[in-house]
Structure 1
Amino acid sequence: MQMASPPSRPPRAIKPVDPITWRERLDEHGAIHGHHRHLDARHGALFTEDDDILLVSFEEAGAMRHSTTGLPAALQVAGREGWSQLCLYSEGDTFFRSDAVFAYFDALIDEGFFDRFDRVVFYGAGPAGYAAAAFSVAAPGATVVLIRPLATLEPARSEWDRRYPALRRTDFTRRFGYAPEMLEGAGEAFLIYDPEVALDATHASLFALPEENLLRCRRLGPAPERDLEKMGVLLPLLDAAGHGRLDARTFHRLYRKRLEYRPYLHRVLTRLRVEKRLGLGRHWANGVRDQLSTEAKQRASS
């Protein structure tokens, strides 16, 4: 097994600021670069204005506060490329099912906000992936990048999914409701998931996307976005989407970085041992050993 040098490490998390101070900082950022809206007690929107490509992300506020900047993760891509960026954030997993969020998107649609941009990309993962798909209907023709999205939590359509019990009474039948239907106006949509996570695979099947747009990443588990970020794949994926270059071939080329990523290598080895595939396990272990030896030599020479 031929393996390349390890990817650069992601920025180290810092101690999060308190929510009030954090929102004040977002107010300052919005006043200078675009706008910051307090939508309700659990939701907000931060817009950073730049050129005519717009990256729309749905993110969790706690994760933003734990980051080195306190700003949206997607702004790392948009800022580097000079794109505009709109982040909808939530306190916890709300699926963004809020009248205030609905009203905010209504206002954007009424003012022709999305028409100002030559290209619009929506991104989200998990519950935020649901939101990215559902609200993409506000920008017909957008490119949508989803990681393990849920289609709905409406009991009639997803009684088999018992996750998020606190949201089981949330109404998923009214506006921006069933994510696969809201996705029908997208220019193109890509769905990334681990097919070995049964619930995520079932939700993925409900989106009924073309086979080449279902991007499978086995052995990454229930939160593949975290591993994709750590191995240096997630941000290049969004970059490719913003430039109109994302397709299955691009994904699989970037995803080869898993062969540099120790947690993935060890998960595969553990699985082979559990399945008692001893010969293949030895072959894989030799590859992992060679990779670690290469890393050690590179560190010693640097």
Structure 2
Amino acid sequence: MESQTKGFAPDLSNQPRGEWLATLRRIGEEYGFAEPMGKSHAAIFVEEGDTLVVAFETMSGIEALSETRTPIGFDMVNANGWSSLSLLSHGDTWFRDERVYAFFDQLQDDGFFDEFENVLFYGAGPCGYAAGAYSVTAPGARVLMLQPQATLDPRVAEWDDRFAEERRRDFTSRYGFAPEMIDAAERAYVIYDPRERLDAMHSALFARPNVTRLRAPFMGGALQSDFRALDLLPGMLTSAAEGRLDTALFASMLRARRNHPPFLRRLLARLDADGRDGLARLLCQNVVGRMPAPRFRRRLTELEAGDDTARTADTG
């Protein structure tokens, strides 16, 4: 494909919501296409290279997580020369909408995905569900899902009480059960924190021969936010698109969390809750030796004072 997007790096950070949406639409019209799908959904396509990322995001999520208030796919256009198809929603809709079904039907009928050498579907949470569900329209694609839901159908996932009001959405018709929709994928990756019980239960429903499930302990329930803060997401997208995101590579990426205060705080809280004072002391010593960390310094002082008290009692 001939490059249209050299230096493609739009910055929409200062635009109000109405103008922001209009600008995204103009970008799509200039570099590919823009497709509104009712009041709740839209698609923005930017054509560049032979790798396509199909990323599902909420508009509020883009505004909160992107410094330039642009879809994650735009970053990959700029950094890797990929093409980008951004599926946007107003709020968490799980993209359960007849107009979205029709949009992907049309892409499949037109052979849209056949134009690309590599296709990667991506999303997190409800958007991770959508990435898995709609990947069936591009057989042989790869899929990267962060803590996705498998379904909200109460007959399957009645144990998930986080989205009780959303169970009225239809998860039983077309593109309904995400774990079945990834059967045509060349490889799918599910990343989750095993200590987030409901996320772990959903991840188990994705267990398939073509699925690699990657554990991220103590990373919590906002993986996309944390991975972006750690600048890990571009590398994850690249390695997933190339089919090489295995356990060893993922573990090497997660070493970055050693310098991530939210992860360290969660780890310390768990050690304290389990009464593992020795490990908590070692953790605090490690952290205060590497970075300014008042909370860990205070906790270390408490633990060392406790050790002194225990020694005094033993010799008294």
Scaled by the length of structure 1, the TM-score of the pair is 0.89
Q: 1:55·1:78 contact (CA, 8 Å) conserved in 2? A: no
Deviations, residues 158-213 of structure 1 (Å, cap 9, x unaligned): 11111223311111110000000001000001100011111111111111135981
Q: 1:100 to 1:91 in 2, by over 3 A?
A: same
Q: 2:118·2:241 contact (CA, 8 Å) conserved in 1? A: yes
Q: What residue in structure 2 maps to residue 288 of structure 1?
A: 287
Q: Which amino acid aligns with 2:268?
A: L
The number of residues matched between the two structures is 282
Shift of 1:95: 0.2
Query: Equivalent residue of 1:287, what SS?
Result: helix
Q: What is the rounded CA distance, in whole Å, between the counterparts of 2:61 and 2:38 in structure 1?
A: 19
Shift of 1:129: 0.4
Q: What residue in structure 2 maps to residue 266 of structure 1?
A: 265
In the alignment, structure 1 residue 100 sits paired with structure 2 residue 102: no
Shift of 1:152: 0.4
State the Cα RMSD in Å. Answer: 1.9
Q: What is the rounded CA distance, in whole Å, between the counterparts of 1:77 and 1:180 in structure 2?
A: 26
Query: Equivalent residue of 1:69, what SS?
Result: coil
Shift of 1:235: 1.6
Q: Which amino acid aligns with 2:202?
A: H
Q: What is the rounded CA distance, in whole Å, between the counterparts of 1:284 and 1:211 in structure 2?
A: 37
Q: 1:210 to 1:217 in 2, by over 3 A?
A: farther
Q: 1:112 to 1:63 in 2, by over 3 A?
A: same
Q: 1:194·1:222 contact (CA, 8 Å) conserved in 2? A: yes
Q: What is the rounded CA distance, in whole Å, between the counterparts of 2:279 and 2:271 in structure 1?
A: 7
Q: Which runs of 4+ in 1 moved over 4 A?
A: 12-16
Q: 1:69 to 1:181 in 2, by over 3 A?
A: same
Q: Which amino acid aligns with 1:50?
A: E
Q: What is the rounded CA distance, in whole Å, between the counterparts of 1:197 and 1:234 in structure 2?
A: 20
Query: Equivalent residue of 2:144, what SS?
Result: strand
Is the deviation greater in 264-273 or in 93-102? 264-273
Q: Which amino acid aligns with 1:127?
A: P
Query: Which structure 2 residues correspond to residues 232-243 of structure 1 after superposition, within 5 A?
Result: 232-243=231-242
Shift of 1:224: 1.5
Larger radius of gyration: 2
Q: 2:12·2:68 contact (CA, 8 Å) conserved in 1? A: no
Query: Equivalent residue of 2:195, what SS?
Result: coil
Deviations, residues 62-94 of structure 1 (Å, cap 9, x unaligned): 122343333202321232100101010100000
In the alignment, structure 1 residue 82 sits paired with structure 2 residue 81: yes
Q: 1:172·1:178 contact (CA, 8 Å) conserved in 2? A: yes
Shift of 1:244: 3.4
Q: What residue in structure 1 maps to residue 191 of structure 2?
A: 192
Q: 1:17·1:65 contact (CA, 8 Å) conserved in 2? A: no
Q: 2:56·2:130 contact (CA, 8 Å) conserved in 1? A: yes
Q: 1:240·1:246 contact (CA, 8 Å) conserved in 2? A: yes
Q: What residue in structure 2 maps to residue 29 of structure 1?
A: 27
Q: What is the rounded CA distance, in whole Å, between the counterparts of 2:237 and 2:108 in structure 1?
A: 24
From 35, 39, 42, the equivalent of 1:41 is: 39
Q: 1:133·1:144 contact (CA, 8 Å) conserved in 2? A: yes
Shift of 1:266: 2.0
Q: What is the rounded CA distance, in whole Å, between the counterparts of 1:106 and 1:225 in structure 2?
A: 28
Query: Equivalent residue of 2:228, what SS?
Result: helix
Query: Equivalent residue of 1:74, what SS?
Result: helix
Query: Equivalent residue of 1:291, what SS?
Result: coil
Query: Which structure 2 residues correspond to residues 105-124 of structure 1 after superposition, within 5 A?
Result: 105-124=104-123
In structure 1, the gaps of 5 or more residues are: 1-11, 295-302
- Give the structure, 1 or 2, with the largest relative contact order (CA under 8 Å, sep 6 or more): 1
Q: 1:197·1:221 contact (CA, 8 Å) conserved in 2? A: yes
Q: 1:285 to 1:212 in 2, by over 3 A?
A: farther
Q: Kindly, what percent of the aligned residue pairs are identical?
A: 41
Q: What is the rounded CA distance, in whole Å, between the counterparts of 1:211 and 1:138 in structure 2?
A: 17
Q: What residue in structure 2 maps to residue 5 of structure 1?
A: none
Q: What residue in structure 2 maps to residue 137 of structure 1?
A: 136
Q: What is the rounded CA distance, in whole Å, between the counterparts of 2:124 and 2:266 in structure 1?
A: 22
Q: Which amino acid aligns with 1:113?
A: F
In structure 2, the gaps of 5 or more residues are: 1-10, 294-316
Q: 1:57·1:132 contact (CA, 8 Å) conserved in 2? A: yes
Q: What residue in structure 2 maps to residue 256 of structure 1?
A: 255
Shift of 1:242: 2.5
Shift of 1:14: 4.8
Q: What residue in structure 2 maps to residue 3 of structure 1?
A: none
Deviations, residues 276-296 of structure 1 (Å, cap 9, x unaligned): 1111111110000111169xx
